[in-house]
Structure 1
């Protein structure tokens, strides 16, 4: 077998392993010696195949630690309001959700002001750990007025869009979201939830979502892994 053909076959085998999920996003590939033995090629041939995968963005090389599968990076189309579930499905990924809190409590002064309700009014807080193809990506906290969204207390939010549940159960359709984004560092608890290290970069999104008549109905606080999320926007200069 020629070197070129051997490299092509090694490349095809590695692509297959990536497609079927043998090497998960964010995981480290076996060492070059073990991988070349498994594929029945020389290390030089293996490196040629890995180099091709690297050029296609399917693997990444670390001089000290070997070869890795990059984590899935999610991003929002410019000026488009999408739910996490919609973003995942649009990219052919499987959204996952672990609901960690779904209960009524009293609104804080800040929450009451943002939602245009009286201080200490009952609100529903929903905490969810969101993932893409099993990889934790975002810790999401949502607060809604209880008198408008009481039906969500009994909703199963593990495999559905919160916006869709709001629409079908509560008759509320989100029209726009005032969204701000800033950089921060993961503390110990957030690092544990997102499977990253303490001090790792995270992107923190704050939002207030409104209906078409301008009524605020939802406050969101989203903390994304910095290596797994990209925010895009169209920016214009005044004429």
Structure 2
């Protein structure tokens, strides 16, 4: 993030509050003590306190409400517009530790719809991988991925605990994911999903269904991601076609 600590005594405020935020003393989504109490606690004037807090606000570590005071913003995971990132890459880009707990990793026959999307024979062998993804031990996403075994046989026995699937595909299978056709819908968590994500049954979730492709257009995997509605934001750049521009038909 842009910016730096303010000079003088305000830098001590900046460093002290930043450490409290980084270590969880002020948790994500929580409100800081009132300015008077916090200034007394740090042994500075309120004017100096505000200089330090304002620097943290400029860098995104704090948010200010005129009515309610200072807050630590919620950590919301999201992809930069039009950029394909793995869950691991998104989390690390925000200074968070990605986690992945493997719940299922087994070979089975492909269903008809799966076979069509993956361009393989019906009932061909696929490996299904179910994982609970998290950031700093907080569950964020239940992820189900299906990959043809003949494309990536190493996935059958690969250690995917706390691992990036994209990285494993690249390093162990020689496959680079280039593009993802992604559809996003809203849903409500059933009892089983709610237990996994640590939310109440019926809580809002975002469901992302994707087909990922190599650069040559060959499908690599199909996936379904169920994100906590309060922990993920999807962004996209949308463009209007110029009326004089004509598009070519056909499969990309």
Instruction: Give me the TM-score of the superposition, normalised by structure 2.
Output: 0.75
Q: Distance in 1 between matches of 2:197 and 2:114?
A: 26
For residue 147 of structure 1, give the secondary structure of its aligned residue in structure 2.
coil
**Among 179, 184, 190, which residue is 1:181 paired with?**
184
Aligned equivalent of 1:130: 133
Q: How does 1:81-92 map to 2 (within 5 A)?
A: 81-92=84-95
Q: Distance in 1 between matches of 2:63 and 2:131?
A: 30
Q: Distance in 1 between matches of 2:18 and 2:181?
A: 41
Q: Distance in 2 between matches of 1:12 and 1:59?
A: 16
Q: Is the 8 A contact 2:18 2:61 kept in 1?
A: no
**Among 101, 105, 108, which residue is 1:102 paired with?**
105
More helix by share: 1
**Among 217, 220, 228, which residue is 2:220 paired with?**
217
Q: CA deviation at 1:11?
A: 8.0
Aligned equivalent of 1:58: 62
For residue 169 of structure 2, give the secondary structure of its aligned residue in structure 1.
helix
Q: Distance in 2 between matches of 1:237 and 1:117?
A: 35
Distance 1:145 1:157, change over 3 A: same
Distance 1:23 1:190, change over 3 A: farther
Aligned equivalent of 1:172: 175
RMSD between superposed Cα atoms in Å: 3.4
* Deviations 1:21-47 (CA, angstroms, capped at 9, x unpaired): 234435x67998xx88x9499xxx8xx
For residue 235 of structure 1, give the secondary structure of its aligned residue in structure 2.
coil
> What is the count of residue pairs matched by the alignment?
229
Distance 1:131 1:101, change over 3 A: same
Q: Distance in 1 between matches of 2:150 and 2:236?
A: 34
Q: Distance in 2 between matches of 1:30 and 1:230?
A: 25
Stretches of structure 2 that go unaligned for 5 or more consecutive residues are 1-10, 243-252
Q: Distance in 2 between matches of 1:234 and 1:39?
A: 45
Q: How does 1:219-234 map to 2 (within 5 A)?
A: 219-234=222-237
Q: Distance in 2 between matches of 1:22 and 1:192?
A: 26
Q: Does the alignment pair 1:78 with 2:81?
A: yes
Q: Distance in 2 between matches of 1:160 and 1:214?
A: 25
Q: Which moved more, 1:70-79 or 1:218-227?
A: 70-79
Distance 1:85 1:234, change over 3 A: same
